[in-house]
Amino acid sequence: MSATPGRSDELLKRITMDPALCGGRPCVRGMRIRVSDVIDLLAAGLSAQQVVEELPDLELDDVRACLAFASRRLNHPTLVA
């Protein structure tokens, strides 16, 4: 099951990139919580709810936004020479 495009676009607004914050890496809502931090916690086996409990400044939609961001980044074709 995939998210509807409109919903995904709304979620992606939660992801910010600022050269002055975390070296320009994608973060959640301008906080110093990187998308990669959230993905790493999910990869370690935490549920979305557990991630929110581990990082209490996050909301469940932030976790969903991180997944949507990662999915979009990985869904682009790469040209191989």
pLDDT tens column, 21-30: 999 999 999 9
- Using CA atoms, how far residue 19 sits from 27, 58, 60, 72, 77, in Å, is 11, 21, 25, 21, 26
pLDDT tens column, 29-81: 999 999 999 999 999 999 999 999 999 999 999 999 999 999 999 887 777 77
CA separation for the pair 56, 75 (Å, rounded): 30
Q: Which of these, 1, 6, 2, 12, lies nearest to 66 by C-alpha position?
A: 12
Query: Considering the entire predicted model, what is its pTM?
Result: 0.85
Q: Where do the domains of the chain lie, and which CATH numbers do they carry?
A: 5-73 (1.10.10.10)
